[in-house]
Amino acid sequence: MSAALDVMAVLAASTIFASAAIAQSARDVRGPSALVAIENEAPARLIVDPPLVEQLARGLVFIQYATENLRVVPVFGKGALDVSPRIGHVHITVDDAPWHFVDASGETVIVVGLPPGPHKVLMELADPTHRVIDSKTVSFEIPVPSPAPPRK
C-alpha cells in the first residue's frame, strides 16, 4: 500500500513541477508594461528567423522576426527617442537594393515577386530617427517552379 502512495506522491509532485515550468506570466511573454518607464533599459536586439520553407516553394518569402527591449510601432522623429520603454521600427532591404522599405507593424514580413535563385534580405532594427541599432541578414533560395502537370 505504501508503494502505491509513493508512486502517487511522485506523480503529484511531477505534475506540480511540470505545471510550474510551463506557466508563464504576461510579462514573460510580452515584456515590461508599455505604461511604465524603464530605467537603464537593456540594449535592443533583433531576432530574425529564416524564411518559412513551405512558402519559399511557392515563391513567397515570409520572414518572422521579434525584438527584445524595443517595441515596434509607427512613431518617428527626435521626440520619440525619449519614450520608455524604447520604440522603433525595422528597415528591410532586398538583394542589396539602393532603397529599403520600413515595417512598423512587428508582424511577419512578406516579400513576393522574386525570381528563382539566391536572394538575401537585410533587416535593420532602427530607432525613431532611423539610426540602426541592430541588424540581421537572411539568405535563401527561391526554387525553380516545377512544371505544371499536363491537362487532360
Show the cell assigned to 147: 512544371
Model's pTM, two decimal places?
0.74
Q: Which of 123, 85, 133, 87 is nearest to 103 (CA)?
A: 123
Query: Is 120 inside a domain boundary?
Result: yes
Beta carbons of 77 and 129 less than 8 angstroms apart: yes
Residue 32 is classified by DSSP as S
Query: Is 11 inside a domain boundary?
Result: no
Report pLDDT digits (tens) over 94-151. Answer: 999 999 999 999 999 999 999 999 999 999 999 999 999 999 999 999 999 877 777 8
Q: Which of 42-51, 73-82, 114-123, 140-149 has the lowest mean pLDDT?
A: 140-149
Query: Is 84 inside a domain boundary?
Result: yes
The Cα–Cα gap between 149 and 79 comes to: 58
CATH of the domain at 85: 2.60.40.10
Query: Is 132 inside a domain boundary?
Result: yes
The Cα–Cα gap between 89 and 86 comes to: 11
Beta carbons of 120 and 137 less than 8 angstroms apart: yes
Dihedrals phi, psi of 18, to nearest 5 degrees:
-65, -40
Query: Is 52 inside a domain boundary?
Result: yes
pLDDT at 13 over 60: no
Q: What range defines the domain where residue 107 resides?
A: 33-142
